[in-house]
Amino acid sequence: MKRSMLGKTLTALSGIMISGAVWADYQLNMREPQSALAKDVYDLHTMINLVCLGIFIVVFGAMFYSIWKHRKAAGHQAEHFHENTTVEIIWTIIPFFILVGMAYPATKSVLAMKDTSNPDMTIKVTGYQWKWEYDYLKDGVKFFSTLSTPRDQIENKAAKGEHYLLEVDEPLVVPVGKKVRVLLTAGDVIHSWWIPELAVKQDAIPGFIRDAWFKSETTGTFRGQCVELCGKDHAFMPIVVKVVTQEEYDAWLASKKGGAEMAAADNTKTFTQEELMAKGAEVYEKNCAACHQANGAGVPGAFPAITGSPTATGPIDAHISTVVNGRPGTAMAAFGGQLSEADIAAVVTYQRNGLGNSVGDMAQPAQVTEIKGGAVAAAPAAN
Ligand SMILES: [Cu+2]
């Protein structure tokens, strides 16, 4: 195959410079392409690299040959002439054709990337600090995808796993061989959605909708990252796409819808303190710990502590309202649209009775529903 042969040539060339054991697990090239477009991109990269290598050899070869052949020590006498139209025409025409030869296939690939017409399905992707939201527009499924690498690995308390910082709790699941159109936007700052193996990379800009597409030809799990510097945890919002067969996709969709119904049922339940604390710890770890820290101590000067905070130890309604509505003008996001009523009740209860606090009360989903309806103002901005 053309691609793998060219790829191997390049890898072999670079291998000359890297020896033995290091070389064994070293790979110098782009990721193995998984879609027709990704293969085009891969081949373009290889082709243009080889053109550059060819130009390098010809130009430096001619230069070194001339210097060596015409050196003074060999008794060479300098020619005395100015301008040579033939040479000037040749060194204009040749690069012109080389450039056209590279621009033509590159433009073709770029145009193909921008052609989002006739998709089989459309998913709206929204970037937030620091997670992605996937909304399957026709199928009515919507969820957040957040980093699942344990904090212990990040803080060097545990050995790093195989997919360190490239793993999420809920991957984007799509069927194989289907043209998936993604509509991209952001809820706060500019993010960028990138899956190298599928040759899709597009900025997600607040207030704008951009689109891109991909069509994986193989099943498998492909990983990417946010590639637009978006704040403190920019490196902590990976993208994982799971490409499955149509049957597996249908089964996943059905279970996802079932899960949404169960979550909706939770929103009208009354929980015990223990249930809320257990659920709250999970919600806190996923949504709050990045800023307020796993132990609730916060980051002085940047993110307030939960431990001993006036909000988490003050009136419970104001506390719930702060979580639901956020605090405009600060990094505290409104979680009312992201978390269910049950999740908010649980995390509020956890913040009041865990992390070094012991207020002793608890929140129930019904209370959160009421506050979401706009009954109570947020706690004062002091903390
Ligand atoms: Cu980002």
Q: Which residue has the tokens 């949404």?
A: 260
In the predicted model, is pLDDT for residue 288 greater than 80? yes
Q: Which two tokens stand for residue 206?
A: 């607040």
| The CATH number fitting domain 270-372, selected from 1.25.40.10, 2.40.40.20, 1.10.760.10, 3.40.640.10 | 1.10.760.10
Q: What residue ranges do the domains of the chain occupy?
A: 2-114, 121-264, 270-372
Three-state SS at 177: coil
Output the CA 190–ligand 1 centroid distance in Å: 7
Q: Which two tokens stand for residue 355?
A: 């992390």
Output the CA 236–ligand 1 centroid distance in Å: 8
Closest CA to 214 of 3, 30, 31, 34: 34
- pLDDT tens across 289-338, in order? 888 888 888 888 888 898 888 888 888 888 888 888 888 888 888 888 77
Output the CA 288–ligand 1 centroid distance in Å: 17
Output the CA 106–ligand 1 centroid distance in Å: 27
Output the CA 139–ligand 1 centroid distance in Å: 26
**Are 208 and 217 a contacting pair, CB within 8 Å?**
no
In the predicted model, is pLDDT for residue 383 greater than 50? no
Output the CA 134–ligand 1 centroid distance in Å: 14
Alpha helices in the chain (DSSP H): 2-15, 20-24, 36-69, 85-114, 151-154, 246-266, 273-287, 289-292, 310-313, 316-325, 341-353, 365-372
Q: In CATH, what is the architecture of 121-264?
A: Sandwich (2.60)
In the predicted model, is pLDDT for residue 362 greater than 90? no
Output the CA 258–ligand 1 centroid distance in Å: 30
Output the CA 379–ligand 1 centroid distance in Å: 29
Report the relative pairing of strands 172-175 and 239-244 from DSSP bridges: parallel
Instruction: For the chain, give the number of residues.
Output: 383
Distances (CA, A) of 219 to 38, 76, 122, 188, 222: 15, 66, 19, 33, 9
| The CATH number fitting domain 2-114, selected from 3.40.50.1000, 1.20.120.720, 1.10.3720.10, 1.10.287.90 | 1.10.287.90
Output the CA 102–ligand 1 centroid distance in Å: 32
- The better pLDDT of the pair 241, 264 is held by 241
Peptide bond before residue 91 is cis, with ω within 30 degrees of 0: no
Q: For residues 342 and 345, give the distance between their C-alpha atoms in angstroms, rounded to a whole number.
A: 5
DSSP letter at 339 equals S
- pLDDT tens across 179-238, in order? 999 999 999 999 999 999 999 999 999 999 999 999 999 999 999 999 999 998 999 999
What pTM does this model have? 0.72
Sign of CA dihedral 252, 192, 330, 350: positive
- The better pLDDT of the pair 124, 328 is held by 124
